[in-house]
């Protein structure tokens, strides 16, 4: 059995060096830490100004003296070819590449240097250990999975090697929920991990059956919810129905493991690797405790300039007088909604992400999309395409809905120049049926 750290070390990631670095940072006093982090922030900004042509273009010819005069980096600014956004002089063999899901409307290909990615994993291991989990623990994973043959089996193999079992979340029927329950009765899972919405479906089924998850799977120690918001009410319901503590994780793959609830219920930011700011709609600094648009700087990533990066979430945080990690007190980002289908089946709105992945694989022209359910059997799909909306594109979209949602739906497809955002600037992938009949 492998764990993620073993795999990363095998691939040449300097995990041990990152863990030593993290230990040194955490040994600093509050004042020492603030001085160190301020210096690191200026160092990474100046590094990219000197070595990254894209960031130099965003900043201009003069490097400012005040931090707040540095530009806000938006996703569209780095939605360009790698040749334009990668820092000069870093070998590709020293880079980690990845893709965002596009849940905010624009999928993004990104890079981190390997030490930066190692710092992320050092943080994850540190935070998980503090709430009682290790990388070897058997995980019940509530996560999506590609349904096409090679990618499906690749993910299943990865899950087996990483000591986790993935529950497929595209079908929330009672029959499927019951199969989940039977699996929990047979296996000795240590914790559940995955989308809040999906775990809530299981919790509601358990409530209907009068069952507490901990009672049928006594080995469980806790639950981690991630990738979408979990309200305080939903967290309390999960804790009650699962019989387990719930830890709320917040992250952005291109940026960092941003925050997770600690053992005292405080959601701690990853202050060891991040500068966090709150700004208004005009990008002017606000009192972070009052809330606004969250802006993040990764102080370790030398591969791409995630400097004062606009992630697209609204939130608030406050400084801790004693701990070096700040407290994320509010988070008002995307909530994935539920799709109710003509057959009566319910599905997670996140399954639309797999449609977008399918379309990107097949078409390569999809830039943005939004889906609106206007009737139980009718979905309107707006697409921003770099090519034309031809019959092949229409056929591919209908096939994707047949595979990932349900057959026999009415799909109305339109090519548009742009898709309207919410006030936060975030594009919602899915607008549910009730929003058109409220």
* Residue-level pLDDT, tens digit, the chain, 438 residues: 678 888 899 999 999 999 999 999 999 999 999 999 999 999 999 999 999 999 999 999 999 999 999 999 999 999 999 999 999 999 999 999 998 865 555 678 999 999 999 999 999 999 999 999 998 999 999 987 888 888 888 889 889 888 999 998 777 788 999 999 999 999 999 999 998 878 988 998 999 999 999 999 999 999 999 877 777 878 999 999 999 999 999 999 999 999 999 999 999 999 999 999 999 989 999 999 998 899 999 999 999 999 999 988 889 999 998 899 999 999 875 444 578 889 888 776 667 767 776 776 777 677 678 889 999 999 999 988 878 899 988 998 999 899 888 999 999 999 998 787 554 334 667 888 765 544
CA 400 and chain centroid, separation: 23
Could you give the CA distance from residue 94 to residue 114 in angstroms, rounded to a whole number? 6
Does one domain contain both 15 and 31?
yes
- Specify whether 140 is located in the same domain as 164: yes
Edge-to-edge order in the sheet of strand 366-375: 410-415, 378-385, 366-375, 430-431
CATH number of the domain at 168, please: 3.40.50.980
Is the domain of 268 the same as that of 292?
A: yes
- 217 and 271 inside one domain: no
User: 38: which residues sit within 8 A by CB, 6+ positions away?
Assistant: none
> What pLDDT sits at residue 387?
81
Q: What is the per-residue pLDDT for 147?
A: 80
Residues 292 and 355 in one domain: no
Residues 257 and 170 in one domain: no
pLDDT of residue 350: 63
Q: What is residue 50's predicted lDDT score, i.e. its pLDDT?
A: 97
**Residue 105 near residue 421 (C-beta atoms within 8 A):** yes
Domain final residue pick, 197, 225, 244: 244
Nearest to 118 by CA among 19, 207, 214: 19
Is 25:325 a contact under the CB 8 Å cutoff? Answer: no
Residues 6+ apart with CB under 8 A from 181: 202, 205, 206, 209, 211, 216
60 and 86 inside one domain: yes
Which of 331, 350, 374 marks a domain boundary? 331
Domain limits at 51?
Answer: 4-126+252-331
The helix/strand/coil state of 112 is strand
pLDDT at 3: 80
CATH code, domain with 348:
3.30.300.30
Separation between Cα atoms, residue 336 and residue 26, nearest integer Å: 35
Asked if 15 and 100 sit in the same domain, the reply is: yes
Q: What's the structural domain count of the chain? A: 3
What was the pLDDT predicted at 102? 58
End-to-end CA distance of the chain: 50
User: What is the SS3 assignment for 228-270?
Assistant: CCCCHHHHHHHHHHHCCCEEEEEEECCCEEEEEECCCCCEEEC
Q: Tell which residue, 261, 24, 228, 249, has the closest CA to residue 119.
A: 24
pLDDT number for residue 1? 65
353 and 318 inside one domain = no
Can you tell me whether residue 177 is helix, strand or coil?
Answer: helix
This prediction's pTM: 0.79
Tell me, yes or no, whether 289 and 355 share the same domain.
no
Pairing of β 346-348 and β 366-375: unpaired
CATH of the domain at 65: 3.40.50.12780
Q: Do the strands 191-195 and 164-168 form a parallel or antiparallel pair, or are they unpaired?
A: unpaired
Residues 119 and 160 in one domain: no
Quote the pLDDT of residue 207: 93
- Is residue 147 domain-shared with residue 232, that is, in the same domain? yes
Last residue of a domain, one of 301, 331, 361: 331
């Amino acid at each position: 059995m492998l764990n993620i750290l073993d795999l990363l070390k095998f691939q040449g990631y300097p995990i041990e060096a990152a863990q030593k670095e993290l230990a040194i940072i955490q040994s600093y006093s509050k004042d020492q830490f603030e001085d160190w982090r301020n210096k690191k922030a200026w160092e990474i900004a100046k590094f990219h100004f000197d070595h990254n042509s894209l960031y130099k273009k965003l900043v201009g010819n003069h490097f400012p003296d005040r931090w707040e005069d540095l530009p806000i980096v938006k996703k569209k600014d780095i939605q360009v070819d790698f040749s334009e956004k990668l820092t000069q002089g870093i070998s590709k063999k020293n880079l980690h590449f990845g893709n965002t899901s596009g849940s905010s409307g624009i999928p993004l290909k990104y890079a981190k240097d390997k030490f930066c990615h190692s710092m992320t994993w050092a943080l994850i291991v540190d935070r998980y250990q503090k709430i009682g989990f290790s990388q070897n623990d058997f995980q019940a994973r509530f996560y999506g999975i590609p349904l096409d043959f090679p990618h499906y089996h690749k993910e299943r193999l990865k899950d087996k090697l990483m000591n986790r079992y993935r529950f497929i979340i595209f079908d929330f029927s009672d029959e499927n929920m019951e199969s989940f329950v039977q699996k929990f009765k047979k296996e000795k899972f240590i914790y559940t991990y995955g989308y809040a919405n999906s775990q809530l479906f299981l919790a509601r089924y358990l409530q209907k059956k009068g069952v507490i998850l901990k009672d049928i799977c006594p080995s469980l120690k806790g639950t981690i919810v991630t990738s979408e918001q979990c309200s305080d009410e939903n967290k309390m319901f999960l804790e009650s129905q699962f019989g387990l503590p719930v830890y709320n994780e917040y992250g952005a793959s291109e940026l960092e493991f941003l925050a997770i609830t600690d053992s005292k219920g405080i959601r701690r930011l990853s202050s060891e690797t991040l500068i966090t700011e709150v700004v208004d709609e005009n990008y002017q600094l606000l009192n972070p405790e009052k809330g606004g648009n969250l802006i993040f700087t990764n102080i370790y990533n030398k591969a791409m300039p995630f400097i004062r990066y606009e992630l697209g979430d609204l939130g608030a945080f406050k400084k801790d007088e004693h701990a070096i990690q700040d407290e994320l007190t509010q988070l008002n980002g995307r909530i994935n909604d539920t799709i109710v289908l003509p057959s009566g089946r319910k599905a997670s709105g996140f399954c639309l992400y797999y449609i977008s992945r399918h379309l990107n694989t097949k078409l390569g022209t999809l830039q943005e999309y939004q889906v609106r359910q206007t009737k139980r059997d009718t979905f309107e799909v707006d697409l921003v395409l770099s090519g034309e909306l031809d019959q092949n594109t229409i056929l591919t979209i209908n096939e994707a809905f047949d595979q990932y949602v349900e057959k026999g739906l009415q799909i109305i497809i339109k090519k548009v120049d742009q898709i309207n955002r919410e006030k936060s600037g975030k594009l919602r992938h899915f607008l549910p049926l009730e929003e058109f009949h409220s």
